[in-house]
Amino acid sequence: MIGRFSILVAAAALSASFSLTAYSQARPETLVKQRQGAMALQAKYFYPIRAMAQGKAPYDPNIVARNIGYLDALARMPWDGFTPATRDVKTGATPAVFSEPAKYKEAQDRFQAEVTTLAELARKGGGEPAIKSQIMAVDKSCGSCHDTFRERQ
Amino acid sequence: MIGRFSILVAAAALSASFSLTAYSQARPETLVKQRQGAMALQAKYFYPIRAMAQGKAPYDPNIVARNIGYLDALARMPWDGFTPATRDVKTGATPAVFSEPAKYKEAQDRFQAEVTTLAELARKGGGEPAIKSQIMAVDKSCGSCHDTFRERQ
């Protein structure tokens, strides 16, 4: 007889195996293209607001709000593309991405947390100084992850 | 003497010229990489939910909600990358992208409107049949744009 718990476990396993199937069907080159796409778009929407936070460009609250909304989504997108199957594709990822997954996960989480804080600040109508300061906190988390997990460019 | 209107116009011009500067500073290859990244990510998050809408994969409301949220942002990202400066970069864009900009804009708007409808449906907790049907409406708008504006693959 199948108990309720077994059904739940089976449902979760089915759901997980679907996810795994969905990922494993993607070729390593596709995973790399997608994760590089997410990084390229993070750059597209982050650099202009970082320039504003640094006083190098005039602060435009509309662009800031829009870009932060995009970054909130983009910050979640690259990570499942760093599967072991992509290890041998030539990219800017350092070997540490694959040899130190726990440390890499920690750096991803730190970045995502900083972006989430920025997005919440923007949603709550946080003032320009607070938003600028949090943009620079996001920048720091980009840099500290790149130090270890991206080849020098 | 500078009137209030002139100051407003100057501010708007400054703001517009900043935007233009931000785009024109990006090399054509960078614009292409960014817009292709947005398309690759649309595929990453759309294909799994289309498979669900078609009954080819089990319907997972969590994945559907998450992916629709991502697509709502991604649907807005590629278009400003199709500048005339990118005309000579080898890509899958047809010449019509540059020779028929009004028609291309119309196809973009139709796609974005379908995605917006899908995102609103998901936010309002629309039922599975309605969501599946709107996913297929989005799919149709992808296809009809690709028919004219993307080279056959």
| B window 123-152, beta carbon within 8 A of A | none
Q: Do residues A43 and A78 lie in contact, with contact meaning Cβ atoms separated by under 8 Å?
A: no
Residue of A41, A62, A71 best to disrupt the B interface, most CBs of B under 10 A: A41
| B73 has a chain A CB within 8 A of its CB | yes
The answer to whether residue B2 scores a pLDDT higher than 80 is no
pLDDT at A153: 79
pLDDT at A58: 97
Q: CB distance A38–B36 less than 8 Å?
A: no
Instruction: Supply the pTM of this predicted model.
Output: 0.85
Percentage of chain B beyond pLDDT 90 is 82
Residue of B nearest to A66 (CA): B73
The whole-number average pLDDT for the span B107-115 is 98
pLDDT at A108: 98
How many C-beta atoms lie closer than 10 Å to residue B131's C-beta?
22
**Residue reference for tokens 């923007």:** A122
Q: Which H or E element spans position B122?
A: helix B101-123
User: How far is the C-alpha of A105 from the C-alpha of A137, rounded, in Å?
Assistant: 18
Q: Which two tokens stand for residue B121?
A: 């449906």
The whole-number average pLDDT for the span B99-118 is 98
**CA quadruple A108, B119, B35, A63: dihedral sign:** negative
The whole-number average pLDDT for the span B116-139 is 97
Chain B residues within an 8 Å CB radius of A14: 58
The answer to whether residue B7 scores a pLDDT higher than 80 is no
User: How far is the C-alpha of A106 from the C-alpha of A119, rounded, in Å?
Assistant: 20
How many C-beta atoms lie closer than 10 Å to residue B123's C-beta?
12
- Please write the tens of the pLDDT for every residue from B57-105: 999 999 999 999 999 999 999 999 999 999 999 999 999 999 999 999 9
pLDDT at B133: 98
Interface confidence: ipTM more than 0.90: no
**CA quadruple A104, A71, B132, B122: dihedral sign:** positive
pLDDT at B153: 79
| Closest CA–CA distance from residue B20 to any residue of chain A (Å) | 12
pLDDT at B111: 98
The whole-number average pLDDT for the span B138-153 is 96
Chain A residues within an 8 Å CB radius of B73: 69-70, 73-74
Per DSSP, the residues of B50-84 read HHHHTTSS---HHHHHHHHHHHHHHTTSSGGG--G
The answer to whether residue B15 scores a pLDDT higher than 70 is no
Bridge partners (DSSP) listed for residue A150: A93
**String of b and e for A61-96 (b: at least 16 CB within 10 Å)?**
eebbebbbbbbbbbbbbbbebbbeebeeeebebbee
The whole-chain average pLDDT of chain B stands at 88
Residue of B41, B56, B64 best to disrupt the A interface, most CBs of A under 10 A: B41
A83: helix, strand or coil? coil
pLDDT at A142: 97
Residue of A nearest to B44 (CA): A34
A120: CB partners within 8 A, 6+ apart: none
A40: helix, strand or coil? helix
The whole-number average pLDDT for the span B34-53 is 98
| B44 has a chain A CB within 8 A of its CB | yes
- Which residue numbers in chain A have pLDDT < 70? 1-24
**C-alpha closest to that of B66 among A37, A15, A117, A125:** A15
| B window 2-41, beta carbon within 8 A of A | 14-15, 18-19, 22, 26, 30, 33-34, 36-41
Percentage of chain B beyond pLDDT 70 is 84
